[in-house]
Amino acid sequence: MRHVILEVARVSGVTPEQITGPSRQRSRVRARQMAMLICHEYCQASLPEIGRVFNRDHSTVKHGVDRTKERITPADRNDMKNIARRCGLLIE
């Protein structure tokens, strides 16, 4: 999951500390929720496991994952696949 955070940070232009930090700034929240969804879908990580890595409660992780699934665009989905591929989570 740490590799996912680093890769999402690189792609989104925020730091890993900002992704796991308390900020509610839109760009940081978007990157954080995208990283959480990647961890959930591609790492097969449980919500409590993700919560520990992101310094969040499992219910907050669930909200972020659900919210991101509602808003995801085809371009976002493609970005997620590319990030998962670069992290070695997706082999096609």
Could you report the per-residue pLDDT of 33-87, keeping only the tens digit for each? 999 999 999 999 999 999 999 999 999 999 999 999 999 999 999 999 999 999 9
Q: What is the structure's pLDDT at 90?
A: 81
Instruction: Kindly indicate the confidence band of residue 18, based on its pLDDT and cuts at 50, 70 and 90.
Output: very high
d(CA 63, CA 13): 23
For residue 11, pLDDT beyond 80: yes
What pLDDT shows up at residue 92? Answer: 66
pLDDT at 47: 97
